[in-house]
Amino acid sequence: MATGSHRVAVIGASGFTGAELLRLCAAHPTFEVVVATGDSQAGTAVADLYPSLAAAYPDLTYAPADLAAADGCDIAFLGLPHGASQALVPELLDRVGHVVDLAADFRLRDEGLYPTWYGEDHEVPDLLADAAYGLPELFRPGLADAGLVAAAGCYPTASTLGLAPLLRAGAIKPSGIVVDAASGLSGAGRPPKPNTTFCAADEDVTAYGLPGTPGGSGLGHRHTPEIEQVLGTAADGASLSQAGDVSVLFTPHLVPMNRGVLATCYARPTDPTLDTASALGLLSDAYTGEPFVVVSERSPSTKATLGSNAAHLTARVDPRTGWVVVLCAIDNLVKGASGQAVQCANAVLGLDETTGLSAIGVYP
């Protein structure tokens, strides 16, 4: 385990994102995990639940949730289910230097969206304006020394990294955007569910969070407003004037693999002369110098990003239909969650964003 100058608390460390946080923190040269909580696993050794972490944490045991144990920490990561962070963050901000929340509790600026998309009012809406949105490649200026960071979700990360440069450049229309994305089973969390057991998920692909579902809200997947918010926002946090009213039809799919998100995004060009080379050029220009973004003509592969904090992007313009197609692959547990959180923590602490993170995937 790393022994450095920054004390770290991981609140909600027994889930997949929590385990990934522990793995990344162990490789970080200045992060020292001093407490890892997990109410459902309190008293269990980290190495017993996740033998992959045994070499780094031979003596660490999951503790019950007690915010006092995080007192004086430089960073507190929250890997909790949606809704749980709202009750903890106000007190935690007084106990630690910075909070990075991996859930959706502070991602949306409009408090009115929470009852609509998450089924309940926000408990501390006054903090929404204080939360920096944690997607450094698109919103780096807001991260410097931020007290509270809401790390971007996996689907919004993959889709907006591909679409935002084109929308900010005025190359695509803001309405009628379609995002078709697929995620590995780890995105559904560690606790077993009827549709994530081996027999249910193996050899099967299903779409979920569909709009217009009978008996549901009819709105679709809850990441939709986050995607729309990101696409309608400039790097400095102001509304993007050329975005107008962004509208996105988002359909996620569950596929039988452990990790990864592949987002295939469709938009209409504002200029009928836009071609593939120009679209790739806009992506390349937007991400020049970004250590975790790879833009190329290759079709992105989720396995190429496995275990890394990298996002692989490409674009095509179909001359027959006129559609612009942008594809992005990420590891949902790294760039889509825990790696993103560490990258944001590096940014708020004034460290190089690449510290403790790799852009190189594990293969095969």
- Please tell me the predicted confidence (pLDDT) of residue 116: 93
A 10 A CB-CB count for 359 gives 18
- DSSP for residue 361: P
State the pTM of this model.
0.96
Query: Which residues fall within 8 angstroms of residue 289, CB to CB, at 6 or more apart?
Result: none
Residue identified by tokens 């309190």 is: 42
- Please tell me the predicted confidence (pLDDT) of residue 4: 65
- Please tell me the predicted confidence (pLDDT) of residue 215: 61
Q: Which of 12, 19, 165, 142 is nearest to 79 (CA)?
A: 12
Burial class (CB in 10 A: 0-12, 13-18, 19+), 290: middle
Distance from C-alpha of 202 to C-alpha of 200, rounded to nearest angstrom: 6
- Please tell me the predicted confidence (pLDDT) of residue 1: 43
Q: Which residue among the candidates 25, 154, 265, 328 is catalytic per the annotation? A: 154
Please tell me whether residue 100 adopts helix, strand or coil conformation. strand
Please tell me whether residue 38 adopts helix, strand or coil conformation. coil
Cβ proximity of 356 and 31 under 8 Å? yes
Residue 301 structure tokens:
């592969």
DSSP codes of every residue in 288-337: TT-TTEEE-SSPP-TGGGTTSS-EEEEEEE-TTT--EEEEEEE-TTIIII
- Please tell me the predicted confidence (pLDDT) of residue 58: 97
Distance from C-alpha of 195 to C-alpha of 206, rounded to nearest angstrom: 9
Distance from C-alpha of 262 to C-alpha of 116, rounded to nearest angstrom: 27
Q: Give the sheet arrangement for strand 31-37, strand by strand.
A: 31-37, 6-11, 75-78, 98-101, 148-151, 132-134
Distance from C-alpha of 133 to C-alpha of 124, rounded to nearest angstrom: 17
- DSSP for residue 62: P
Give the chain's largest Cα–Cα span. 62
- What sign has the CA pseudo-torsion 88, 21, 287, 167? negative
- 154 counts as catalytic: yes
Domains of the chain: 6-130 (3.40.50.720), 155-332 (3.30.360.10)
DSSP codes of every residue in 137-205: HHHGGGTTT-SEEEEPPHHHHHHHHHHHHHHHTT-B-SSSEEEEEEE-GGGG-SS--TTTSHHHHTT--
For the chain, residues with pLDDT lower than 50 are: 1-2
Q: What pLDDT, in 10s, does the model give residues 82-136?
A: 999 999 999 999 999 999 999 999 999 999 999 999 999 999 999 999 999 999 9
Residue 318 structure tokens:
């179909």
Angle among Cα 18, 360, 296 to the nearest 5 degrees reads 120
- Please tell me the predicted confidence (pLDDT) of residue 244: 78
